[in-house]
Structure 1
């Protein structure tokens, strides 16, 4: 699967770079903030924990990868391949547990150049899980591994500003994956077991990244007066 994804990505970059008005290739990386999952928990009266629905709190993760972009005057098409770590926290009184997984994201984006230096864009994305989704302190599944789909579709919308070879990008990624409720048992040493239901395993993300252009088909180096070649 990973080899096929790599091949398709490289094929796309080579294809769109041919006969292009402008084609750029670069790398990017940054932070992502994950939110959206929900746990329904029973109360533990002896500890003062009343239970109820817990929504996950923002937790930072990281992403990094490569991208290719082809421009058609003010319009552009952009393909990215990103490795993404996601993590969100559920707080039980003074205790907390985390829900985390890693994934490869492949968004296909269509954008519009509004004015220098601002662009806006949107498009679908495919996320493929790398390894397992894990709920910390979960005792009913081996290793806390939570059953979940290995891939899902998402919608991406964002804006970016470019300054020469650098870009700053702010994006929202919405997860379309359907989710089934999963009973779980959370085991805290001082809390005891807490019967819970993982009502919503879907997570959404806000992503902030910085990009660096490595190749630009429209770039023409200047010839220095005292040299016979380009640098």
Structure 2
């Protein structure tokens, strides 16, 4: 009799746990991050130094059955320094954009503590199509939109989040096909979920 009661109790707990994972969850929050970006080029015409920028924005997360979708929207300032070449002096480029990553991921953990793995596309829209360019005349023509892929790990501690991510540009940022440039960026951010 005890074995039957224990078996029913175990079955009841497994059903409750599986139903809890099938219920959708929703979070909404704010975030800020430091990013460390550089421009990569085909060939050796560009030697980009890594510079520090920032991100500020909002995020949401909808999860069900252990997986989630996390769209974000943030204002981003990405910087890259470059060494002198035959065509330009040493300088720095600053790219100001609205970025929209759409991350797919999973969370491992219980209750308020958890570790996340996420990846997905990121779409960037330059603000007014303008770029802050210092001393470099050949950086004048940039595209107003770009796409990339982003991935990383994160942790949830109650309502706080911490993320470490890598972003790699997929398309040429320059209007010139002879001077192909792609963004490469690491970021570390913190956030707070108020819902």
Normalising by structure 1, we get a TM-score of 0.65
**Count, aligned residues:** 166
2-structure distance, mates of 1:130, 1:120: 30
TM-fit CA distance, 1:147 = 1.1
CA 1:39–1:72: 2 relative to 1, 3 Å: closer
2-structure distance, mates of 1:114, 1:150: 38
Tell me, yes or no, if the aligned pair for 1:39 and 1:55 is still in contact at 8 Å: no
> Which residue of 1 is the match for residue 74 of structure 2?
82
> Which residue of 2 is the match for residue 27 of structure 1?
30
Q: Does 1:203 align with 2:183?
A: yes
Q: Does 1:213 align with 2:193?
A: yes
Normalising by structure 2, we get a TM-score of 0.76
> Which residue of 2 is the match for residue 120 of structure 1?
117
Tell me, yes or no, if the aligned pair for 2:103 and 2:119 is still in contact at 8 Å: yes
Three-state SS of the structure 1 residue aligned to 2:172 is coil
1-structure distance, mates of 2:47, 2:62: 40
Three-state SS of the structure 1 residue aligned to 2:182 is coil
CA 1:92–1:111: 2 relative to 1, 3 Å: same
Gaps of 5+ in 2: 1-22
* 1:100-139 paired onto structure 2 within 5 Å: 100-115=94-109, 116-131=113-128, 132-139=130-137
1-structure distance, mates of 2:150, 2:40: 18
Deviations, residues 79-126 of structure 1 (Å, cap 9, x unaligned): 100100011111349x83101110000111110113352110111121
